[in-house]
Structure 1
Amino acid sequence: MIAGRLFVTALTAALVMSGCGRGGQTSHRSTDLVVGSRAGIESALLADVYTGALRSYGFPAHSEQAPDPLTKLDAGAFGVVPSLTGRVLQAFQPGANARSDAQVYKAMIGALPEGIAAGDYTTAAEDKPALAVTDATSKSWGGNDLGALPRHCDGLVVGAIAAAPTPSAIGSCRLPAARQFDNEATLFAAVKSGEVTAAWTTTADPNVPADLVVLTDGKPALVQAENVVPLYRRNALTDRQLLAVNEVAGVLDTAALVDMRRQVTAGADPQAVADAWLNEHPLGR
């Protein structure tokens, strides 16, 4: 019983995503394959992308939200739950130091419980922590390469949204505790005013002001990868259902994720946004 509770707790932690989302949907046939998400714009949007992918292959599917989507995956009520590779890895193997997308995915696969499997991850779509600085700071550091940060570690002041997961170190630089902000508007304003040197955001955040520079993590990676990945109940999907889910990995990229998140943030329906994107990137052809 204790092991079961730990399993659920770890899976739940792996699926935490930020933002505000819509309410759950329940008025669908019981024969539908259910793609689960938490409340939150990104989580709901990703669930709708995979829902649309399944529908494009002719499979009845719909998305549902739940406070604890992986509990429902474990119980068989959900068939697929999208997540991010690094979060899943840390849930089951805390402190894992894999960094690159391939290394994180491989380590994640090895850490998953017996009844849960993972589909193909999106090599071009990620949403991992990233630092935003002013253009002046970027120029003084010699460009937008995150690898330059350790040379400017002394006196560094970093800001972050309260409770957002952020790395404790970048290379040889042990980061100071981040100053906490209630929202992105005040956080990014603090960067511009010089109150903080850099602000933690993510690579798929649509709200970073155009006049700030997001530092690029090169190779070898300094921040653990967070690529979109679908988790599913082992042996619960047919070969063609799994093919539909896996096809997303070949077409979704970070720019598309940013654009879709921006539309949903502006008030568009996540499923409509996901379907419009899939119409531009048809699967199964």
Structure 2
Amino acid sequence: MSIARLAAPLLALLLVVTGCSGQHGDHAAPPGPELVVGSKADPESRLLASLYVSALRSYGFPARAETADDPMAKLDSGEFTVVPAFTGQVLHSLQPDDSALSDKQVYKAMNAALPEGIASGDYTTAAEDKPALVVTPATGQAWGGQDLSADLTLVQRHCDGLTVGIVKGGHAPAAVGSCKMPRPREFPNDTALFAALRSNELTAAWTTTANPGIPGDLVVLADASKNALIRAENVVPLYRRNALTTRQLLAINEVAGVLDTEALTDLWRKVAGGADPQAVADGWLGEHPLGR
């Protein structure tokens, strides 16, 4: 048999093998084991986990979300790989007496307090959900300002006789600057809380900066991070040290560059309305692709 006649079938076989290999590559299994992003079971926590799942998937990494009563314990044991959290809450759980307030100070102190096997990614400098005081426009005008950090005596000047409220289960700082805050009256929901504020039963109401239930006719007192009087609460991904590749870490860190408080509020509003957290996260990251 001639060399040319032998070469023809060998070439055909090579093309078949190459074609099969190419098709397998098109449908190859995703790289590495599936990463587990953990959170508590409430809708807001599930949304944050879904954002980081979407981020990892957008880079081609398999990931899924799971819930637990104590996500940090699961992260510490290695059952979870990534757990989104808020910087101030993590710091308070690890160092309750730490006095850091601004976003940079809180992030630095939190990193110093993390257990040896856990590290933190980039925090969202533009996305926060920290305690905030809400007042009526009339109160804001009477107080002569709406920015706590610009006028460090704003609350102090009106500290005596303050009556404040909060939704049951919420967190209220014990002090704002030098003003020791009174124990807040508890209300069953935002509707009841803000109705009491409007009817002047309360001077101010405690809420959080990303709460989608804050009515537009009320005033949220600002508290800039540089001279913050209330501890920062920025979104941050915690992860198992040495468990992520460089590109996986890049994927979760890039969330910090696209997420802001306005977007976080809108996403939580959709989830509160019954939307699936993963679908909401996927849709939002589809409109705000990472790595651009």
Tell me which of 105, 118, 121 is aligned to 2:120.
118
Deviation string 1:188-233 (CA, Å, 9 cap, x unpaired) is: 1110111111110000000011111111013410001000000011
Is 1:161 the counterpart of 2:190 in the alignment? no
Is 1:186 the counterpart of 2:188 in the alignment? no
Counterpart of 1:36 in 2: which secondary structure?
strand
Equivalence for 2:80: 78
User: What is the root-mean-square deviation of aligned Cα atoms in Å?
Assistant: 1.2
Equivalence for 2:276: 269
Could you tell me whether the CA contact under 8 Å between 1:41 and 1:265 is conserved in 2?
Answer: yes
Tell me which of 227, 235, 260 is aligned to 1:253.
260
For 1:272 and 1:155, locate their aligned partners in 2 and report how far apart those are by CA, in whole Å. Answer: 46
**1:253 CA displacement:** 0.4
Equivalence for 1:43: 45
The structure 1 segments of at least 4 consecutive aligned residues displaced by more than 4 Å after TM superposition are: none
Could you tell me whether the CA contact under 8 Å between 1:56 and 1:284 is conserved in 2?
Answer: no
**1:284 CA displacement:** 2.5
State the TM-score, normalized to the length of structure 1: 0.88
Tell me which of 180, 183, 202 is aligned to 1:177.
183
For 2:105 and 2:269, locate their aligned partners in 1 and report how far apart those are by CA, in whole Å. Answer: 30
**1:143 CA displacement:** 2.8
For 1:107 and 1:72, locate their aligned partners in 2 and report how far apart those are by CA, in whole Å. Answer: 22
Could you tell me whether the CA contact under 8 Å between 1:127 and 1:202 is conserved in 2?
Answer: yes
**Pair member with larger Rg:** 2
Counterpart of 1:132 in 2: which secondary structure?
strand
Equivalence for 1:4: none
Equivalence for 1:32: 34
Structure 1, unmatched stretches of 5+, are 1-29
For 2:118 and 2:90, locate their aligned partners in 1 and report how far apart those are by CA, in whole Å. Answer: 11
The number of equivalent residue pairs is 256
Q: Equivalent pairs: percent with the same residue?
A: 66
For 1:175 and 1:70, locate their aligned partners in 2 and report how far apart those are by CA, in whole Å. Answer: 30
**1:164 CA displacement:** 1.6
Structure 2, unmatched stretches of 5+, are 1-31
Could you tell me whether the CA contact under 8 Å between 1:57 and 1:284 is conserved in 2?
Answer: no
Deviation string 1:159-191 (CA, Å, 9 cap, x unpaired) is: 012232211111111111111112111111110
Could you tell me whether the CA contact under 8 Å between 1:119 and 1:231 is conserved in 2?
Answer: yes
Is 1:221 the counterpart of 2:223 in the alignment? no
